[in-house]
Amino acid sequence: MLSLSACGRDARSPAARGGGPPPNAATETKAKMTTHFLAASVMLDALVRGDLDGYHGAAAVIAAEGEHGPPWSRSTSVREVAKRAGEATTVRAAADAVAELGVVCGDCHRSQGGPKLDIGAPPSAVATGSLRMARHRWAAETMWQGLMQPSDAAWKTGSEVFANAPLVLDAVAADEPMPKQLEAFTLAARASATAREASSAMDAGDRRRLFGELYTTCAGCHALAKQH
């Protein structure tokens, strides 16, 4: 995932930074869309790590952006959802909020005919834990593209790759207590089952719910791995 701080500069639009108006409306819109994309990426990354402070900070960036103006009439809804995300106090609430944000963004993009991003190909299905996790990450990010673009093809591809990716249990050692091993297996199996159900979901409401469930489960599994 991209980070707002990774490039060492303020990712907000020129207008939001107070640096004067952009040359034209198209430039301003592009800058705001880039801000939203980067901030949402940070929200998802922080969510999986259980970092609600980081999640809230990224949500605040979207909530603080000004109106896009006609024809971007749904920008108010985006900011309202981002504000609610900034108030989430649990991982589940945060996951549900970012899923709703993806759907709202997708509604606006559908009405305006963009964006259309190339999802590329998933990492190879290999045996090592780190590369298995890379495949899960690619699949989850592709599902996000399915919500945000929106794209039925991206949603279905991402969910199918996630559902069929090998379970990543390497982070929980074989000599761990049996309850912890069972919890890890249960979480991994639940994530796969959720992705499998998602692969046939066509309704935006169902996709929002399943995306929230998937990221909640992923966060739980990552939290368990950190205890090792």
Residues 2 and 94 in one domain: yes
- Counting residues of the chain whose pLDDT is more than 90, the rounded percentage is 50
Q: Are residues 78 and 150 both part of a single domain?
A: no
Alpha-carbon torsion (223, 207, 116, 35), positive or negative: negative
* 106 and 1 within one domain: yes
pLDDT of the residue at 122: 87
Q: What is the mean pLDDT of residues 167-171?
A: 60
- Identify whether residues 109 and 132 lie together within a single domain: no
Q: Which of 115, 134, 167 is the last residue of a domain?
A: 115
Asked if residue 223 and residue 123 are part of one domain, the reply reads yes
Highest mean pLDDT among 3-12, 50-59, 114-123, 172-181: 50-59
Q: Is it the case that residue 189 has pLDDT exceeding 60?
A: yes
Residue 61 clears pLDDT 90, i.e. is over it: yes
Mean pLDDT, rounded, for 179-188: 83
Residue 165 backbone class (left: φ over 0; alpha: ψ -120 to 50; beta: rest):
beta
**More confident: 126 or 191:** 191
- C-alpha to C-alpha distance for 32 and 47, rounded to whole angstroms: 22
Tell which of 80, 115, 150 closes a domain: 115
25 and 109 together in one domain: yes
CA distance 160 to 164: 6
Whether pTM > 0.95 for this model: the answer is: no
pLDDT average, residue stretch 145-163: 95
Comparing 7-16, 107-116, 140-149, 196-205, the range with the smallest average pLDDT is: 7-16
Count Cβ atoms within 10 A of the Cβ of residue 20 and give its class: 0-12 exposed, 13-18 middle, 19 or more buried. Answer: exposed
Two structure tokens written together for 128:
């090592």
Give the model's pLDDT for residue 139.
Answer: 96
pLDDT, residue 176, reads 65
| Structural domain of 122 | 117-228
129 and 209 in one domain?
yes
Same domain, 43 and 60: yes
How many domains is the chain partitioned into structurally? 2
95 and 20 housed in the same domain = yes
Whole-number Å distance between alpha carbons of 224 and 88:
21
Same domain, 59 and 103: yes
Examine the pLDDT at 87 and tell me if it is beyond 80. yes
Q: Are 131 and 24 part of one and the same domain?
A: no
Residue 211 has a pLDDT of: 98
Q: Which of 96, 115, 134 is a domain's end point?
A: 115
| Mean per-residue pLDDT of the chain | 83
Q: Looking at the structure, do residues 97 and 145 belong to the same domain, yes or no?
A: no
